[in-house]
């Protein structure tokens, strides 16, 4: 089967006894007119794919241990690469970035075709390239390699494989949901789910539909605690700070007391208006948002106390706001950006640009170190999942791609991270997917044979 090559690969120095190998990677995919070329790889999953490819062709142990399906599955690689590859270090880079003169040479090479020959690639000294030191977990993954072994590959680096070992306890395992809840399965009609919110202690999870239906689940055992269809309530959920009282509001301009239910007393109740559309953990900060690139800090239902502007009134819609548990950081989804803001001052600390056409929702881990974002990319079929970013370096480190065409285009619409950090709740179509936070600290049974 022919592949479109993105890279040329050469083994420089295999050292199975030290579980190390040095690779040289050549970029062979260029678009001279756009001044674009395939990026130099950095993720361990790319190199696991290379090791499997060479083993499958050359009789190495990894070729017997994995099939083609695993290297093709980004979700599998994100979770399981660490059982095979310990580290990747880029030690030398050449011809990057390319000068205008370099691009002229590349243009000439492309006319001839940049494909592997018996002695390598044509004028390979001119290609964008880098050398890498790769440390693996078992010498068997390297025993089939020899100096000078070269091949072309259609595998492409993916930033979702840049998960670090220290991330594993803190990010959701998106390979499979831990549970799937269908809140309004018994309804006479089907209304799309709209919003999710955990109570402050994480004991309850509330969800609303487009028709104003409300369901509340007991989080530990996932049983339905409450189902209501309030006559005049809205869809926005806000829990009363520190209490098991859930409120529904019509919209941000509603000055009528919200509909509220006290789950401890098991009865409807009357509470003061909860200002804002979203609040921080204690309610110290309350935010209204919507049209225009602005977030309003409010303490009542009149004019805002202060406003942070991220754009003018025509700059798109703010679609989500989340806080760290200590209330020192606020995350605002505006167009394709997540702005990290210090709520006490309103100062923008950082901006994370998310590939795609629009951000639908976001949720922050309690410590603010990780973000889950729901994106829409109208040219990307892999829209069935939240993406998880590491805030410190803005890296995309986890996603769950579509398993088949039936899942293509199924978008995550709303997200909630539990206050204890243990679960990520995601609205997917008419269901709630609950993902457990924390990747396994041991390989699955099918991979344990590889460990000495």
- Inside any domain, residue 338: yes
Measured between alpha carbons, how far is 410 from 341 in angstroms, rounded to an integer? 30
Whether 345 and 264 map to the same domain: the answer is yes
pLDDT at 299: 87
Whether 40 and 96 map to the same domain: the answer is yes
Number of domains forming the structure of the chain: 2
Measured between alpha carbons, how far is 372 from 424 in angstroms, rounded to an integer? 8
- Inside any domain, residue 205: yes
pLDDT at 382: 47
**Nearest alpha carbon to residue 62 among 137, 10, 3:** 137
- Inside any domain, residue 77: yes
Measured between alpha carbons, how far is 167 from 104 in angstroms, rounded to an integer? 43
pLDDT at 284: 95
Q: How many degrees, rounded to 5, is the angle at CA 47 between CA 46 and CA 52?
A: 100
Whether 62 and 202 map to the same domain: the answer is no
Measured between alpha carbons, how far is 150 from 128 in angstroms, rounded to an integer? 16
Contact criterion met (CB below 8 Å) for 90 and 42? yes
Whether 206 and 109 map to the same domain: the answer is no
Per-residue pLDDT of the chain (452 residues; tens, 9 = 90+): 446 789 999 999 999 999 999 999 999 999 999 999 999 998 888 999 999 999 988 788 888 888 888 888 777 887 888 899 998 999 999 999 999 999 999 998 887 788 888 778 989 999 999 999 999 999 999 999 999 999 999 998 876 667 777 898 999 988 789 999 999 876 655 568 889 999 999 999 999 988 878 999 999 999 999 998 865 556 789 999 999 999 987 655 545 567 899 999 999 999 888 888 999 999 999 999 977 889 999 987 667 899 999 977 777 889 999 999 999 999 999 988 999 999 999 999 999 998 877 788 999 999 999 999 988 766 555 454 688 999 999 988 887 655 544 444 456 788 999 999 999 999 988 899 999 999 888 888 778 754 44
Three-state secondary structure call for residue 17? helix
pLDDT at 16: 96
Whether 251 and 355 map to the same domain: the answer is yes
- Inside any domain, residue 451: no
Q: How far from chain centre, in Å, is Cα 187?
A: 32
Contact criterion met (CB below 8 Å) for 340 and 362? no
- Inside any domain, residue 411: yes
Measured between alpha carbons, how far is 85 from 331 in angstroms, rounded to an integer? 33
Whether 98 and 11 map to the same domain: the answer is yes
CB atoms inside a 10 Å sphere around CB 253? 8
Which residues constitute the domain of residue 294? 170-436
| Numbers of helices and strands, H then E, in the chain | 5, 31
CATH number at residue 339: 2.130.10.10
Q: What is the dihedral of CA 339, 344, 346, 348, to 10 degrees?
A: -40
Whether 134 and 190 map to the same domain: the answer is no
Whether 207 and 223 map to the same domain: the answer is yes
Whether 15 and 140 map to the same domain: the answer is yes
pLDDT at 451: 45
- Inside any domain, residue 129: yes
Measured between alpha carbons, how far is 121 from 210 in angstroms, rounded to an integer? 58
pTM over 0.85: no
pLDDT at 128: 97
Q: What is the DSSP string of 38-89?
A: PPPP--HHHHHHHHHHHHHHHT-HHHHH--THHHH-HHHHHHHGGGTEEEEE
pLDDT at 385: 63
Q: Where are the beta strands (DSSP E) in 192-233?
A: 193-198, 204-209, 214-218, 223-228
Measured between alpha carbons, how far is 403 from 401 in angstroms, rounded to an integer? 6
- Inside any domain, residue 446: no
Dihedrals phi, psi of 153, to nearest 5 degrees: -135, 145
Q: Where are the beta strands (DSSP E) in 275-408?
A: 278-279, 286-289, 294-297, 306-309, 318-323, 330-334, 337-342, 347-353, 358-364, 370-376, 387-390, 395-399
| Tokens coding 238 | 């806000």
Whether 267 and 144 map to the same domain: the answer is no
Whether 145 and 255 map to the same domain: the answer is no
- Inside any domain, residue 105: yes
Measured between alpha carbons, how far is 220 from 197 in angstroms, rounded to an integer? 15
pLDDT at 394: 93
């Amino acid at each position: 089967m022919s592949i479109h090559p993105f890279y040329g690969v050469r083994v420089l120095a295999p050292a199975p006894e030290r579980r190390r190998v040095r690779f040289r990677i050549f970029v062979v995919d260029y678009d001279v007119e756009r001044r674009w070329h395939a990026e130099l790889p950095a993720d361990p999953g790319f190199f696991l794919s290379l090791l499997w490819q060479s083993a499958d062709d050359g009789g190495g142990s990894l070729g017997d241990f994995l099939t083609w399906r695993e290297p093709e599955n980004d979700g599998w690689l994100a979770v399981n690469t660490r059982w095979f590859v310990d580290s990747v270090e880029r030690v030398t880079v050449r011809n990057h970035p390319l000068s205008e003169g370099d691009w002229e040479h590349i243009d000439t090479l492309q006319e001839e075709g940049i494909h592997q020959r018996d002695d390598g690639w044509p004028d390979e000294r001119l290609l964008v390239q880098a050398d890498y030191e790769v440390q693996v977990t078992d010498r068997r993954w390297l025993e089939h390699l020899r100096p000078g072994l070269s091949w072309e590959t259609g595998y492409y680096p993916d930033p979702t494989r840049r998960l670090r070992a220290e991330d594993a306890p803190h990010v959701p395992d998106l390979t499979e949901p831990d549970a799937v809840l269908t809140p309004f399965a018994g309804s006479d009609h089907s209304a799309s789910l709209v919003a999710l919110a955990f109570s402050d202690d994480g004991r309850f999870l509330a969800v609303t539909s487009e028709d104003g239906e409300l369901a509340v689940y007991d989080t530990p055992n996932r049983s339905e605690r409450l189902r209501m269809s309030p006559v005049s309530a809205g869809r926005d959920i806000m829990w009363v700070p520190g209490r098991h009282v859930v409120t529904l509001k019509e919209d941000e301009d509603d000055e009528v007391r919200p509909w509220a239910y006290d789950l401890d007393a098991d009865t409807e109740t009357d509470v003061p208006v909860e200002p804002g559309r979203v609040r921080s953990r204690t309610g110290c900060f309350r935010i209204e948002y919507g049209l225009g690139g602005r977030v309003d800090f409010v303490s009542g239902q009149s004019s805002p106390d202060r406003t942070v502007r991220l754009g003018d009134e025509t700059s798109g819609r703010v679609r989500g706001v989340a806080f760290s548990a200590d209330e020192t950081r606020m995350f605002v989804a505006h167009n394709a950006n997540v702005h990290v803001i210090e709520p006490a001052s309103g100062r923008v600390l950082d901006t994370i640009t998310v590939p795609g056409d629009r951000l639908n929702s976001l949720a922050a881990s309690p410590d603010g170190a990780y973000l889950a974002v729901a994106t829409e990319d109208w040219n990307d079929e892999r829209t069935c999942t939240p993406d998880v970013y590491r805030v410190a370096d803005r890296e995309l480190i986890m996603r769950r791609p579509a398993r088949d065409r039936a899942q293509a285009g199924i978008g995550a619409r709303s997200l909630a991270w539990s206050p204890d950090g243990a679960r990520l709740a995601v609205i997917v179509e008419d269901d709630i997917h609950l993902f457990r936070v924390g990747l396994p600290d041991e390989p699955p049974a099918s991979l344990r044979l590889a460990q000495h």
